[in-house]
Amino acid sequence: MKIIVTGSLGNISRPLATALVQQGHAVTVISSQPERRAAIEALGATAAIGSFEDADFLAATFAGADALYAMIGGGHRELDSRAYFQRIARHYAQAIEQAGVRRVVHLSSWGAHRGQGTGGILGSHDAEQILAAVPGLALTHLRPTSFFTNYYGFVGMIKGVGFIGANCPGNYRVALVHPRDIAAAAAEELTRPAAPAGRTIRYVASDERTQDEVAQALGTAICRPDLRWVAFTDEQMRANLLQNGLPASTAADIVDIYASMGSGALAEDYAQHKPALGKVKLEEFAQEFAAAFENSK
C-alpha cells in the first residue's frame, strides 16, 4: 500500500512510519522542516517537505495514496487554536477530495464529541465535522485519551515547588495513553482491508489511574516518594499559567480541558465505548519520565 503519514517524526508519526515501512508499505512522511528529510529517508520512507497551509502541496502529495494518516499539530502555538484546527482541516478536506483519497485515519481526541466546554479540544471536534463532510470517504477518527507525555510539562513545577497538580481532583481516574499505543492503533486502521465508506470512531487508551496514583508513580521513579498531586481551582490554574508566560487564550484552553476532565464531561463518551487497553502502563512511562526529568535543566 502507498500510505501518507503526517506529523513529521513526532512521538506518534515516527513509530507509525517505522512500523508501516517494516510491513513493506510505501510510506511518504510529510514534514514542514527540510532538516528532517535525511532522518525520514533513513527510516526507509519518502520525505515530502511542505506546508499544511498549502492545500495544493497536500493534494499533490496525496495523489495515488491508498491511505492517509491525518493529524493536526502545532495548535498549542496558536493564539486561536480552534480557528487553526478548522483551517488545516479544511486544507485536508480539499486535498483529500482533489487527490481522490478514499481511506483516512484522523488523529482526534477524547472529548471531541462535545462542541463546547473542552477548551483546546474543540478544534478536534471541528476537524471531525469538516472531514466527515468529504463524500465517499472511509474515515476513522482515532480518539486517544490523555497523553502520558503531557506530564513532561510538569517537570518545572516539580523542581520548582515540589508537587504536581492542575484544576482536577487527585482522585479523578484518568484514562492515559502512550504515543506508541496510538501508533499501533493507527497502523492497524491504515492497513485494514476494504474499509467501508462512512465514519467510525476508535478510542485509544493504555492505562487508567487516578492523578494521585500518577504522582506516586512518577515520584517513586524520580526518587521523590513524597511527590503528591495538588488540586487547584480554575482561577489558581489560570493565574499560574499566565504567570509562566502563556497567552490568555492558551491558558483558557488548558483550564477548560482540566475542568472538563474533573467534571466528567471530557470522558463521558469514552466511558460508553471503552477500548481494550494498550501495552504501555504507568510504571513503564514513569521510567521514561525519570530519564527526561534527570536530563532536564
**Helical H segments across 102-243, by residue range:** 122-132, 155-161, 179-190, 211-221, 234-243
Query: Which three cell numbers mark 159?
Result: 523542581
List, in order, residues 6 or more apart from 296 with CB less than 8 Å away. Answer: 155, 156, 159
Give how far the C-alpha of residue 106 lies from the chain's centroid of Cα atoms, to the nearest Å.
10
pTM of the model: 0.95
Query: Which three cell numbers mark 102?
Result: 478514499
What span, in angstroms and rounded, lies between the C-alpha atoms of 10 and 204? 18
Cβ–Cβ < 8 Å for 286, 218 = yes
Q: How many residues does the chain have?
A: 297
What span, in angstroms and rounded, lies between the C-alpha atoms of 191 and 17? 12
Q: What are phi and psi of 23, to 5 degrees?
A: -80, -5
Domain boundaries, the chain: 2-145+178-204
Burial 270-291 (b: 16+ CB within 10 A, else e): beeeebebbebbbebbbebbbe
Residue located via cell numbers 487547584: 232
Residue located via cell numbers 506529523: 7
List, in order, residues 6 or more apart from 232 with CB less than 8 Å away. Answer: 165, 166, 167, 240
From the list 234, 271, 262, the residue with the least C-alpha distance to 110 is 271
pLDDT tens digit at each of 297 positions of the chain: 999 999 999 999 999 999 999 999 999 999 999 999 999 999 999 999 999 999 999 999 999 999 999 999 877 777 889 999 999 999 999 999 999 999 999 999 999 999 999 999 999 999 999 999 999 999 999 999 999 999 999 999 999 999 999 999 999 999 999 999 999 999 999 998 877 789 999 999 999 999 999 999 999 999 999 999 999 999 999 999 999 899 999 999 999 999 999 999 999 999 999 999 999 999 999 999 999 999 987
Residue located via cell numbers 488545516: 88
Give how far the C-alpha of residue 270 lies from the chain's centroid of Cα atoms, to the nearest Å.
15
Query: What is 2-145+178-204's CATH number?
Result: 3.40.50.720
